[in-house]
């Protein structure tokens, strides 16, 4: 006689058969078991006890049942796995600056492996909120300001992580102010939402992401966790998302009925409004059973899918933060560093030409990995900039150090050296997740002013006045305004929060062992007034269509450094931009090819960028938008033809009257080059025909 259907039977089936078994299993579960799938097992008391050790253990949900359904075990990211002592990679923004989806996929695989080896099966670190204003406190957790670039990077992380565990894309949607995140109502029109704030989420859905986390804020008047328009209509309806939605932690649900009916499938991390209260709502007919069944179906579908994913040989805990992953962290950090300025051959530092090198600044000796909120990762070690420079300097160079507390002393040390490195920038007190709890000291939050702290600016000026070869290494998660001092130093690099191998990566770039290849994933402005409004206390804000390079282009503003900008120790020549067709239908695609030659003396990697502009559009459109990019490695003297594809569908705008994407039959201008701005961009055009 057949007994009650088990989870194992579901896992054993494929395709439609599996779907129908899930249906049977759901029909067979008791209401308690169903609600158990939607509710965490952690109690509020335990959560409070665990707060000082936040995220060090996975958060469980849905483990209690009689059918062998495994628990969901959530662990956070995005710069590694928050559990125990995992590998700390450079923050997402740094990885965004590497513009390398294939590398990001490898990072994802490493993180997925470490999650699984430590008992988690659900990774919460695919943060893809668009950076509307670089002052957002959690900027470091995302990849940048452009939806295409964000989507490529996010989808790559999803693919990597999901080789081992489920991944969660967050925070859905329009979550990009920290201080007001728990109450702000983001007003956004439909076109802006669809074209600017959502495409990267759609790309992760298309890449098969298992989960999506709703945001804390409201969108157009409704809390994201109660927002049926976002969750049911767009995510699950229009996009056909087959996974489940979890709430952001603690304050992401404010009433169970609204959340469950809007399509929020799991409340995290404790059952406040789900659990028993949700059961009462179902009994009272306030939440229809079909909504519960739908949520449970989604959860079981992903649990069954991932029961078969992973390494059958098992997971070796000793690989967590082991040599292989540390080497990957080093590689990523090296590829993410952006050389912003390099005059008078200030860089690279030659080991045979220097005798003394002065390293200055308190950040040089701090293991500054970034935010200390939910994205905190606690690696077994972290190489500081000073330690990295000492590791790499070699025997012949004497490396001296001064904290820089006394500017005169620092300047005197710089004067006595052949070159000076000032390590300046930000830390968790300047930017990061804002957690409004009395027991948490006030770390993080947004930056309204984007310059360095004044003392650091003065330190740079004092050191630069004493040593002509002063190089500034910037640490931080987003744009920094450098106008007060940038003309006084010959060289500077943006190293972001470079992870546990960061100091070694910085030194590799300084000494030229790694040729810098990172490019900015956001505009660096000259002043705050070039940016969109950023009222971090407002209850209601308007997100307009323009931000970042789109806004700079539209208003004809001159940035300090444009989106996509980054120098190298070699030089590249772009020529011969060709499109394979002059006309394509709205369903077609075009292949652009460009010849890229390394005309310098060092091997290097260049990030080739392709932008598209619209001629004669019937709606207001950006001057240009990033539509493709490629990282290309070249030896000195080597040339390659670089091909990039553009699908006509990706050139569509969202027609709000027709509620549909529309590819216009107009002329499209293609520009290809090393950044979003510059006289060296090559151009060509093609038409989409009706």
Distances (CA, A) of 48 to 218, 277, 502: 26, 20, 33
Half-sphere exposure of 413 (CA within 13 A, CB side): 22
Distances (CA, A) of 71 to 7, 292, 314, 377, 667: 12, 18, 19, 23, 53
Provide, rounded to whole angstroms, the least separation between the CB of residue 307 and ligand BGC. Answer: 24
Choice between 250 and 684, CB closer to ligand BGC: 250
Instruction: Read off the tokens for 12.
Output: 């054993």
Provide, rounded to whole angstroms, the least separation between the CB of residue 245 and ligand BGC. Answer: 13
Binding residue (CB under 6 A) for ligand BGC from 249, 273, 274, 496 = 249
Closest-approach residue to ligand BGC (CB): 374
* R_g over Cα of the chain: 26
Do residues 95 and 332 lie in contact, with contact meaning Cβ atoms separated by under 8 Å? yes
Instruction: Read off the tokens for 447.
Output: 């930056």
Check if 248 is active-site.
Answer: yes
Choice between 68 and 436, CB closer to ligand BGC: 436
DSSP labels for 623-683? Answer: S-EEEEEEEEEE-TT-EEEEEEEEEGGGG-EEETTTTEEE--SSEEEEEEESSSSSTT-EE
Cα–Cα nearest to 531, from 509, 514, 546, 512:
546
Three-state SS at 614: strand
Task: Please tell me the count of residues contacting ligand BGC according to CB under 6 A.
Answer: 7
Provide, rounded to whole angstroms, the least separation between the CB of residue 241 and ligand BGC. Answer: 19
Cα–Cα nearest to 133, from 542, 419, 616:
542
Do residues 274 and 250 lie in contact, with contact meaning Cβ atoms separated by under 8 Å? no
Which residues, 68 to 87, sit near ligand BGC by CB under 6 A?
76
Vertex 396: Cα angle to 392 and 399 (nearest 5): 60
Choice between 248 and 605, CB closer to ligand BGC: 248
Choice between 172 and 572, CB closer to ligand BGC: 172
Provide, rounded to whole angstroms, the least separation between the CB of residue 336 and ligand BGC. Answer: 21
For tokens 């932008």, the residue is 611
Provide, rounded to whole angstroms, the least separation between the CB of residue 435 and ligand BGC. Answer: 7
Provide, rounded to whole angstroms, the least separation between the CB of residue 89 and ligand BGC. Answer: 17
- 140 binds ligand BGC per the rule CB under 6 A: no
Three-state SS at 285: coil
Q: Which of 248, 446, 508, 553 is catalytic?
A: 248
Could you give the CA distance from residue 176 to residue 234 in angstroms, rounded to a whole number? 20
Class of residue 570 by CB neighbours under 10 A (exposed 0-12, middle 13-18, buried 19+): buried
Binding residue (CB under 6 A) for ligand BGC from 100, 248, 331, 508 = 248
Provide, rounded to whole angstroms, the least separation between the CB of residue 21 and ligand BGC. Answer: 32
Choice between 87 and 214, CB closer to ligand BGC: 214
Provide, rounded to whole angstroms, the least separation between the CB of residue 203 and ligand BGC. Answer: 19
Which residues, 635 to 654, sit near ligand BGC by CB under 6 A?
none
Which residues, 570 to 599, sit near ligand BGC by CB under 6 A?
none
Choice between 125 and 256, CB closer to ligand BGC: 125
**CB within 8 A of 83, min separation 6: which ones?**
55, 56, 57, 58, 75, 114, 115, 118, 119, 120
Which residues, 180 to 199, sit near ligand BGC by CB under 6 A?
none
Binding residue (CB under 6 A) for ligand BGC from 42, 55, 129, 140 = 55
Binding residue (CB under 6 A) for ligand BGC from 374, 402, 504, 676 = 374
Residue window 316-355: x/- pattern of binding to ligand BGC, with contact defined by CB under 6 A: ----------------------------------------
- 136 binds ligand BGC per the rule CB under 6 A: no
Choice between 57 and 170, CB closer to ligand BGC: 170
Choice between 76 and 185, CB closer to ligand BGC: 76
Distances (CA, A) of 312 to 307, 308, 309, 359, 514: 11, 9, 9, 48, 37
Q: H or E element: which one contains 389? A: helix 385-393
Could you give the CA distance from residue 139 to residue 149 in angstroms, rounded to a whole number? 15
Choice between 82 and 340, CB closer to ligand BGC: 82
Q: H or E element: which one contains 166? A: strand 166-172
Residue window 104-133: x/- pattern of binding to ligand BGC, with contact defined by CB under 6 A: --------------------x---------
Provide, rounded to whole angstroms, the least separation between the CB of residue 52 and ligand BGC. Answer: 14
- 170 binds ligand BGC per the rule CB under 6 A: yes
Choice between 274 and 574, CB closer to ligand BGC: 274
Provide, rounded to whole angstroms, the least separation between the CB of residue 170 and ligand BGC. Answer: 6
Do residues 559 and 675 lie in contact, with contact meaning Cβ atoms separated by under 8 Å? no
245 DSSP β-pair partners: 212
Applying CB under 6 A, which residues contact ligand BGC?
A: 55, 76, 124, 170, 248-249, 374
Positions marked catalytic: 248
């Amino acid at each position: 006689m057949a007994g009650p259907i088990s989870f194992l039977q579901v896992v054993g089936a494929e395709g439609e058969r599996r779907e129908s078994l899930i249906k049977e299993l759901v029909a067979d579960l008791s209401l308690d078991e169903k609600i158990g799938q939607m509710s965490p097992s952690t109690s509020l008391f335990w959560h409070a006890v665990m707060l000082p050790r936040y995220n060090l253990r996975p958060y469980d949900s849905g483990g209690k049942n009689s059918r062998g359904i495994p628990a969901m075990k959530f662990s956070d990211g995005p710069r590694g796995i928050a559990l125990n002592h995992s590998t700390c990679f450079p923050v997402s923004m740094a990885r965004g600056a590497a513009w390398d989806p294939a590398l990001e996929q490898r990072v994802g695989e490493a993180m997925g492996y470490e999650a699984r080896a430590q008992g988690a099966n659900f990774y919460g670190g695919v943060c893809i909120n668009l950076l509307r204003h670089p002052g957002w406190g959690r900027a470091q957790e995302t990849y940048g300001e452009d939806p295409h670039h964000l989507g490529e990077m996010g989808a790559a992380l999803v693919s990597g992580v999901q080789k081992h565990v489920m991944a969660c894309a967050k925070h859905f949607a329009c979550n990009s102010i920290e201080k007001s995140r728990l109450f702000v109502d983001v007003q956004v029109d439909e076109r802006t939402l669809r074209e600017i704030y959502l495409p990267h989420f759609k790309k992760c859905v298309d890449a098969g992401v298992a989960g999506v986390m709703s945001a804390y804020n409201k969108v157009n008047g409704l809390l994201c966790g109660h927002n049926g328009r976002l969750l049911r209509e767009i995510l699950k309806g229009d996009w056909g998302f087959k996974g489940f939605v979890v709430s952001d932690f603690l304050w992401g649900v404010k009433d169970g009925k609204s959340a469950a009916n809007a399509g929020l499938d799991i409340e995290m991390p404790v059952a406040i409004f789900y659990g028993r209260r949700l059961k009462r709502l179902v009994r009272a007919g306030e939440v229809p059973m079909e909504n519960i069944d739908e949520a449970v179906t989604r959860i079981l579908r992903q649990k069954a899918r991932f029961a078969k994913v992973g390494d059958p040989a098992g997971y070796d805990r000793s690989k967590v933060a082991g040599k292989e992953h540390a080497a990957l962290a080093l590689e990523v950090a090296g590829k993410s560093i952006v050389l912003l300025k390099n005059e008078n051959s200030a860089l690279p530092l030659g080991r045979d030409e220097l005798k003394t090198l002065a390293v200055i600044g308190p950040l040089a000796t701090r293991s500054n990995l970034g935010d200390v909120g939910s994205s905190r990762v606690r690696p077994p070690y972290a190489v500081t900039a000073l330690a990295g420079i000492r590791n790499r300097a070699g025997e012949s160079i004497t490396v001296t150090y001064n904290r820089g507390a006394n500017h005169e002393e620092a300047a005197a040390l710089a004067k006595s050296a052949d070159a000076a490195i000032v390590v300046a920038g930000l830390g968790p007190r300047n930017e990061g997740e804002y957690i409004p709890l009395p027991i948490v000291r006030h770390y993080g939050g947004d930056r309204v002013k984007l310059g360095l702290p004044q003392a650091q600016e003065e330190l740079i000026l004092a050191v630069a006045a004493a040593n002509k070869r002063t190089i500034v290494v910037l640490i931080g998660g987003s744009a920094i305004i450098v106008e007060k001092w940038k003309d006084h130093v010959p060289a500077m690099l943006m190293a972001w929060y470079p992870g546990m191998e960061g100091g070694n990566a910085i030194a590799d770039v300084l000494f030229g062992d790694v040729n810098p290849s990172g490019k900015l994933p956001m505009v660096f402005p000259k002043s705050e007034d070039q940016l969109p409004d950023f009222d971090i206390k407002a209850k209601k804000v308007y997100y307009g269509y323009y931000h970042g390079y789109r806004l700079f282009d539209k208003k004809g503003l001159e940035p300090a450094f444009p989106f996509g900008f980054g120098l190298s120790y070699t030089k590249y020549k772009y020529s011969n931009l060709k499109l394979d067709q002059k006309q394509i239908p709205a369903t077609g695609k075009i292949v652009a090819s460009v010849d890229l030659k390394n005309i310098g003396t060092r091997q290097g990697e260049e990030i080739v960028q392709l932008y598209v502009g619209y001629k004669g559009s019937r709606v207001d459109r950006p001057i240009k938008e990033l539509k493709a990019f490629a990282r290309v490695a070249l030896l000195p003297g080597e040339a390659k033809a670089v091909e990039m594809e553009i699908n006509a569908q990706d050139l569509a705008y969202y027609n709000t009257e027709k509620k549909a994407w529309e590819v216009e039959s107009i002329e499209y201008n293609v520009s290809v080059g090393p950044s979003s701005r510059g006289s060296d961009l090559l151009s060509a055009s093609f038409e989409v025909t009706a």
